[in-house]
Amino acid sequence: MDIPLWLALLTVGYLGVKLIRPPWWLIAVLLLGGFLIADSVLAPLVNGFVK
């Protein structure tokens, strides 16, 4: 069974917020930080750790 990546991420994110209940500012910081790092000079370094 093939599940689209966006659907899997959305489901995991929704369940994480419902079950763990982190503060909304932490969610915003993680999303914004990931977005900013992906478009910075640190992107190749992070890519090396991910792969």
What is the predicted pLDDT for the residue at 46?
Answer: 83
Residue extents of the structural domains in the chain: 23-51
Q: Per-residue confidence at 48, pLDDT binned at 50, 70, 90?
A: confident
Q: Are 37 and 46 in contact (CB under 8 A)?
A: yes
3-41 confidence digits (pLDDT tens): 999 999 999 999 999 999 999 999 999 999 988 988 888
pTM higher than the cut 0.75: no
Residue with tokens 């959305």: 10
The sign of the dihedral angle between the CA atoms of 49, 35, 11, 8 is negative
**Looking at per-residue confidence, does 10 or 45 come out higher?**
10
